[in-house]
């Protein structure tokens, strides 16, 4: 079993004091301001002078903004989060120039997630306690799981979500030992009623977390819509809506983590479909169910965990007719409507639609792995 050094983030919840919460709120505001002003300067330089501003130039501009009496409040937070905002802006432009994303957008003051990143010289980590720069006390972190032994965090990211919860994500370099090699291979067919059908014949049911809380969500949103804008009652109602959203997201993520961890531990090769989720959610009848299934997030989990533990994830072409093909004789049916859940092939083989598709995906994945035909670039 080979070992591999990877960068891994450990996320914990923490409870700031009143002073720390106020200082973090100012930091979040300064981070947003620096990002937006950096974006405005870059846009102006390109529009008026046809030149690009580099990260180094942006950093010099940040020094000038701090010396300007009108924006001297930028000296209140640590310099690390402000420089990290400019690095994030540089990364956004890099993706834009490579045509991997659209033009960077200005950040609005939002009641959703806000975050700030601190580099190694902007926080201290001693005896299992973390203290951020320009704060007098260490953070009250709930260590739900221990950090690996003998590791030093290289950076931490502090965030506040729409529910008002504070989290800290600690980035470390960790040596991970891969799983023992196995001959087991598996194919996965994504669905809605059944979240995933496995080529082994197992079906993983879809918990449908959003549907289970849909009535509570609808009631909370109706209450919110009737509150006067800017009132304290509206703020309380918005918080109730955010709590329901957070509950749904937390349960969904937990379920996907457990499933992806099990599949990576048990199988050497995992074959999946290269689904175009962005196009599929345009179907208004199925968009809510598809979003709740979170296929893209699950695929991302499979890919990075497989990379950590020495496994292989193969994505087959999205146009491969896995549902219409008989996994026994290879005959391809002309059509296979969604309402057909089981069928009998002309060769006499009886198929469950989802299990049959998973078997075909497994066979196609092994073929792709062997000859490379139809391989698409990894989304990571």
Asked if residue 375 has pLDDT above 70, the reply is no
Residue 379 banded pLDDT, cuts 50, 70, 90: very low
pLDDT given for residue 149 in this prediction: 84
Q: How far apart are CA 378 and CA 145, in angstroms?
A: 31
Instruction: Name the residue among 100, 149, 104 with its Cα closest to residue 128.
Output: 149
Across the range 184-205, mean pLDDT stands at 92
Instruction: Please write the tens of the pLDDT for every residue from 6-51.
Output: 899 999 999 999 999 999 999 999 999 999 999 999 999 999 988 9
Residue 377 has pLDDT above 50, yes or no: no
Pick the more confident residue, 373 or 238: 238
pTM, 2 dp: 0.84
Query: pLDDT digits over 213-255, tens only?
Result: 999 999 999 999 999 998 999 989 999 999 999 999 999 999 9
Share of the chain above pLDDT 90, in %: 64
Instruction: Give the separation between CA 291 and CA 249, rounded to whole angstroms.
Output: 11
Residue 352 above 50 pLDDT? yes
Closest CA to 184 of 262, 251, 299, 124: 262
Residues 292-308 have pLDDT tens digits of 889 999 999 999 999 99
pLDDT at 372: 64
Q: Are 319 and 276 in contact (CB under 8 A)?
A: no
Domains, the chain, ordered by start: 3-177 (no CATH), 185-206+252-371 (3.30.420)
pLDDT confidence band for 4 (50 / 70 / 90): confident
Give CA separation, 183 vs 71, 233, 312, in Å.
62, 59, 12
Through-space distance between the first and last CA atoms of the chain, rounded to whole angstroms: 24
Q: Looking at the annotation, which residues are catalytic? A: 189, 273, 354
What angle do the packed helices 79-97 and 55-67 form, to 10 degrees?
A: 140
What distance in Å separates the CA atoms of residue 242 and residue 215, rounded to the nearest whole number? 15
Angle at 193 between CA 190 and CA 196, to 5 degrees: 30
> DSSP assignment of 96-113, as one string?
HHTTSS----PPPP-SS-
User: What pLDDT is attached to residue 373?
Assistant: 56
């Amino acid at each position: 079993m080979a070992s591999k050094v990877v960068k891994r983030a450990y996320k914990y919840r923490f409870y700031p004091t009143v002073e720390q919460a106020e200082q973090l709120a100012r930091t979040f505001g300064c981070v947003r301001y620096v990002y937006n002003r950096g974006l405005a300067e870059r846009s102006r330089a390109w529009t008026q002078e046809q030149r690009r501003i580099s990260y180094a130039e942006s950093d010099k501009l940040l020094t000038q903004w701090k010396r300007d009496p009108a924006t001297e409040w930028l000296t209140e937070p640590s310099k690390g989060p402000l420089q990290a905002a400019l690095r994030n802006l540089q990364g956004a432009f890099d993706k834009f120039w490579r045509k991997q994303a659209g033009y960077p957008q200005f950040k609005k003051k939002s009641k959703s997630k806000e975050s700030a990143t601190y580099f190694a010289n902007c926080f201290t980590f001693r005896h299992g306690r973390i203290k951020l720069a320009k704060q007098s006390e260490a953070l009250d972190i709930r260590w739900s799981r221990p950090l690996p032994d003998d590791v030093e965090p290289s950076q931490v990211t502090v965030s506040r979500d729409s529910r008002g919860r504070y989290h800290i994500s600690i980035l470390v370099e960790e040596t991970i030992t891969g799983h023992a090699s196995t001959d087991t291979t598996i194919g996965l067919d994504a669905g809605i009623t059944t979240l995933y059908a496995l080529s082994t014949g197992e079906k993983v049911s879809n918990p449908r977390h959003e549907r289970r809380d849909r009535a509570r969500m609808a009631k909370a949103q109706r209450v919110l819509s009737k509150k006067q804008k800017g009132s304290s009652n509206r703020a309380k109602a918005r918080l109730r809506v955010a709590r329901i959203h957070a509950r749904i997201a937390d349960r969904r993520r937990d379920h996907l983590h457990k499933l992806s961890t099990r599949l990576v531990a048990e199988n050497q090769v995992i074959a999946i479909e290269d689904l175009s989720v962005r196009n599929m959610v345009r179907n208004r009848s199925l968009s809510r169910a598809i979003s709740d299934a979170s296929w893209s997030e699950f695929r991302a989990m499979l890919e990075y965990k497989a990379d950590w533990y020495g496994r292989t994830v193969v994505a087959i072409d999205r146009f491969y007719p896995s549902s219409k093909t008989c996994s026994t004789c290879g005959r391809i049916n002309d059509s296979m409507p969604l309402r057909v859940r089981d069928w009998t092939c002309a060769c006499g083989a009886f198929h469950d639609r989802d299990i049959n598709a998973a078997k075909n995906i497994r066979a196609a994945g092994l073929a792709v792995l062997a000859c490379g035909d139809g391989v698409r670039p990894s989304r990571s």
